[in-house]
């Protein structure tokens, strides 16, 4: 693929996963190439062609004045931010001044102001879904369903994403018309409607809801929440929650960003539906936060096996030795979350709004997918 940015930048001909690819990249760059440069070049090489439309469509139009900066450069810049572990445009912009390799990979001739980076982030986040437009076609390429490719396990978990944002105020509840007080007449239509309305929970409704409708009912605003860690201590945070599905080798398959107060179990069925459209798998592994009969039955009805930690609940049946051994693979998604939070997602996310948060976290998830695939291919080459 030849670079489409109208500037003298690097041409990403090799896949950059092999020794030959590293050699080609070293020839294109002026200074010594680091691991971050290799991962960024591979991410750009893989992510840009997966977009369902040309980025030129998002290019701001100007009839007078200087020409606008190419929007491709800002898309690459956003992919580079998690890889180079920079939390603010100010810090990343300073890095562009001293790292000519990074500047060439992004495609900048001259470096824009901080306000310009912020303005283009808004354009990108409002028009690109990193999960649907980039991660989904990546998975379809690496795990093609038509060719009989399948994955044994899908591991599911969520992680807290603190944000420096004001918690959204809850809108006042619409009381509606006054309801008739007292017990409903036995056998009446009012009693049937009342029982039917209260019988189905959010999770039960998701079984028959279309995917888009199920996600539309989940809160996406910044909110407060608490979570008990492995030491039994409850920690509270303000912000969002990242729900992630990975393979048993740690490659992200799909993700969802919700408000922090959304319970894990409310995202299990929509995520399962998302993942099953992208790959074929046999087992879905989840921790005790997803323990619900509705989730278990939904996955079993699709012909797959749900392994959900029963923990210490009344009436729960513990895992048999075989399931207990298989369930240990679920730690893969915990390592993926740890990798994201330790190396790709900055501790202080200085952005506001769900769309921007979803886009920035999506860039980190895509970078993790590329880095993990690169690692697995390198390990395969060593043993070959």
> Is 259 in contact with 163 (CB distance < 8 Å)?
no
Distance between CA atoms of 85 and 107, rounded to whole angstroms?
19
pLDDT in tens, 273-321: 999 999 999 999 999 999 999 999 999 999 999 999 987 776 678 899 9
User: What is the average per-residue pLDDT within 258-269?
Assistant: 96
Alpha helices, DSSP H, located in the chain: 19-28, 35-50, 71-83, 89-98, 100-106, 114-127, 136-142, 189-199, 202-208, 211-216, 265-278, 293-301, 321-327, 331-339, 354-383
Taking residue 196's Cβ as centre, other Cβ atoms within 10 Å add up to: 9
CA contacts within 13 A on the Cβ side of 112: 21
User: What is the average per-residue pLDDT within 208-227?
Assistant: 94
Q: For residue 74, what pLDDT is reported?
A: 97
Domain layout of the chain by residue ranges: 19-128, 149-168+186-347
Q: For residue 318, what pLDDT is reported?
A: 86
Q: For residue 130, what pLDDT is reported?
A: 96
Distance between CA atoms of 349 and 357, rounded to whole angstroms?
8
Query: Taking 70 as the threshold, does the pLDDT of residue 244 lie above it?
Result: yes
Q: For residue 147, what pLDDT is reported?
A: 66
pLDDT in tens, 311-323: 777 667 889 999 9
> Is 274 in contact with 211 (CB distance < 8 Å)?
yes
User: What is the average per-residue pLDDT within 333-338?
Assistant: 96
User: What is the average per-residue pLDDT within 26-39?
Assistant: 85
CATH for the 149-168+186-347 domain, from 3.40.630, 2.30.29, 3.40.50, 3.30.420: 3.30.420
pLDDT in tens, 115-154: 999 999 999 999 999 999 999 999 888 888 776 678 899 9
Q: State the chain's mean pLDDT as an integer.
A: 87
Q: For residue 199, what pLDDT is reported?
A: 57
Q: Which position has the higher pLDDT, 219 or 375?
A: 219
Query: Taking 70 as the threshold, does the pLDDT of residue 20 lie above it?
Result: no
Distance between CA atoms of 143 and 198, rounded to whole angstroms?
41
- The pTM assigned to this predicted structure is 0.88
Q: Which of 27-31, 129-133, 322-326 has the lowest mean pLDDT?
A: 27-31
Taking residue 47's Cβ as centre, other Cβ atoms within 10 Å add up to: 23
Query: Taking 90 as the threshold, does the pLDDT of residue 374 lie above it?
Result: no
pLDDT band at 197 (very low <50, low <70, confident <90, very high): low
Query: Taking 90 as the threshold, does the pLDDT of residue 353 lie above it?
Result: yes
């Amino acid at each position: 693929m030849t670079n489409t940015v109208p500037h003298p930048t690097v041409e990403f001909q090799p896949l950059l996963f092999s020794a030959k690819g590293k050699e080609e990249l070293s020839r294109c760059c002026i200074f010594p190439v680091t691991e971050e440069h290799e991962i960024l070049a591979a991410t750009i090489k893989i992510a840009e062609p997966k977009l369902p439309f040309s980025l030129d469509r998002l290019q701001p139009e100007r009839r007078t004045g200087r020409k606008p900066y190419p929007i491709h450069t800002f898309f690459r810049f956003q992919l580079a931010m998690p890889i180079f572990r920079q939390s603010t445009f100010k810090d990343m912009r300073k890095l562009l001044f001293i790292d000519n390799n990074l500047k060439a990979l992004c495609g900048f001739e001259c470096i824009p102001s901080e306000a310009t980076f912020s303005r283009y982030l808004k354009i990108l986040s409002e028009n690109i879904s990193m999960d649907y437009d980039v991660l989904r076609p990546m998975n379809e390429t690496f795990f093609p369903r038509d060719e009989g490719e399948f994955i044994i396990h899908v591991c599911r978990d969520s992680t807290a994403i603190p944000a420096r944002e004001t918690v959204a105020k809850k809108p006042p509840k619409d009381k509606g018309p006054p309801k008739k007080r007292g017990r409903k007449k036995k056998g009446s239509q009012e009693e049937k409607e009342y029982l039917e309305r209260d019988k189905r929970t959010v999770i039960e409704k998701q079984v028959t809801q279309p995917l888009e409708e199920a996600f539309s009912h989940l809160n996406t605003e910044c909110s407060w929440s608490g979570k008990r860690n492995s030491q039994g201590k409850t920690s509270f945070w303000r912000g969002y929650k990242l729900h992630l599905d990975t393979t048993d080798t740690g490659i992200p398959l799909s993700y969802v960003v919700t408000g922090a107060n959304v319970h894990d179990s409310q995202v299990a069925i929509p995520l399962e539906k998302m993942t099953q459209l992208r790959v074929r798998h046999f087992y879905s592994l989840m921790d005790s936060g997803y323990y619900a009969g509705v989730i278990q039955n939904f996955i079993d009805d699709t012909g797959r096996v749900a392994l959900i930690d029963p923990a210490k609940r009344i009436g729960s049946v513990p895992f048999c030795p075989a399931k207990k051994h298989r369930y240990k693979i679920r730690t893969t998604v915990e390592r993926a979350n740890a990798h994201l939070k330790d190396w790709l997602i900055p501790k202080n996310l200085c952005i506001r709004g769900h769309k921007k948060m979803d886009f920035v976290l999506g860039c980190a998830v895509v970078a993790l997918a590329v880095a993990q695939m690169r690692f697995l291919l390198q390990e395969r080459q060593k043993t070959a």
